[in-house]
Amino acid sequence: MTLSTEELLEGILEGNHRALARAITKIENRQDGYREVVSGLYEHTGSADVIGITGSPGAGKSTLVDKMAKTYRDQGLTVGIVAIDPSSPYTGGAVLGDRIRMASNVGDMDVFFRSMSARGSLGGLSTATADAVKALDAFGKDKVIIETVGAGQNEIDIVQAADTVAVLVPPESGDNVQMLKAGILEIADVFAVNKADMDGADRTVQELEEMVHMDDGHVSVTAGHHGMGVDADVDMPDKGDDAADAPEPWETPVLETVATTGEGVDDFLETLQAHADWLADTGQIAAKRRQRTAEEIRTLLREDAGELVERELEAHGGVDGLAERVLDGETDPYSIADEVLEPFVACLDAED
Ligand SMILES: Nc1nc2c(ncn2[C@@H]2O[C@H](COP(=O)(O)OP(=O)(O)OP(=O)(O)O)[C@@H](O)[C@H]2O)c(=O)[nH]1
Ligand SMILES: [Mg+2]
């Protein structure tokens, strides 16, 4: 049975997990109507704490997320999990049907687990992830967790949908700590040295702490946390005279966890909460959301404009034919670009 957009939206807002799962499928596959679904959900978003968990393959992300979900449930909070699993054997096909799976809390529908595959364009995947997070937020989940392997720019884009990002680092990963400097450090709000039951954890904690302290710029408000160039003139919440003061910087803490036993998980969650509180108290959350929304608008427009350009290319007989004309010495790429964009430019000029 196919549900209409209205039925999907209604279902999600009523707390129907089946509708939620279908909406996310629609979003993931960019099926007809997904835009209307996300549009309709938008006004209901903004109340979830969105947490990104990233780190090298096998760092223990899923194990930790599972423990986090359990702890949140014990606190009476609802949880949604989106796992981006590029190394998973399920990717590239819907082997698990509509791929609904619960965390270890079997039968507890308040932990809604969803894996999203890395198939298709990865740029598109970060948009799809952000939209899936919105569905979980609008649904009313208190905590939304995104799990993704921290391997490169695409993952960084994905995890940017989160308000608070924790980077998991296994012990004795000296090389990894070096690698972290290239981008991951900038996105980490919290470091967790997971597998702290193994040798070398203390040393890794020490290395990370040294790194955090060396990276002075990271924590300053104007340094563009998450690479998004957060403005210093953020909208401050109304906090009386203190509001004029520069916000206290956030110093990225380095914790130890043993995800398999749950050791350190309470501290870890308290630290995530402290970061969420810091975001709220300093007005950073507003700045962050504004930046993120601006980025979303740009990404969406680029995608949409790209599609219009594709249509126009088809109208000109397709890009291959145009390339042929260039090779035949008839024309050149710049003239073609001008030609293809001509109708758009004409429209814009007519508007002025
Ligand atoms: N000793 C020890 N093993 C752990 C710990 N946390 C996770 N593991 C083990 O590490 C392995 C990988 O754990 P996962 O949770 O699947 O790691 P992941 O980061 O989600 O892995 P990918 O999603 O494949 O990148 C499993 O065998 C876990 O049982 C820990 O704190 N200590
Ligand atoms: Mg995993």
Question: What ligand 1 atom has the least distance to the C-alpha of 83?
Answer: 23
Query: Candidates 63, 81, 158, 268: which one to mutate for ligand 1, based on the most atoms within 8 Å of Cβ?
Result: 63
**pLDDT tier at 2 (50, 70, 90 boundaries)?**
confident
- Matching residue, tokens 């962050």: 288
Average pLDDT over residues 245-252: 82
Q: Name the average pLDDT for the chain.
A: 82
Average pLDDT over residues 134-148: 95
Q: How far apart are CA 58 and CA 194, in angstroms?
A: 10
Q: What does the pLDDT read at residue 11?
A: 94
Lowest-confidence segment of 56-70, 116-130, 256-270, 325-339 by average pLDDT: 116-130
60 Cβ inside 6 Å of ligand 1: yes
Helix, strand or coil, per DSSP, at residue 192: strand
Could you say which DSSP state residue 263 is in? B
Q: What does the pLDDT read at residue 72?
A: 92
Average pLDDT over residues 241-255: 76
57 Cβ inside 6 Å of ligand 1: yes
148 Cβ inside 6 Å of ligand 1: no
Q: Whose CA is nearest to atom 2 of ligand 1?
A: 195
Q: What does the pLDDT read at residue 303?
A: 85
Q: What does the pLDDT read at residue 89?
A: 42
Higher pLDDT, 315 or 235: 315
Q: 199 vs 75, 97, 196, 205, CA distance in Å?
A: 32, 40, 8, 12
Question: What ligand 1 atom has the least distance to the C-alpha of 85?
Answer: 23
Pick the closest to residue 53 from 179, 199, 198, 187 (CA basis): 187
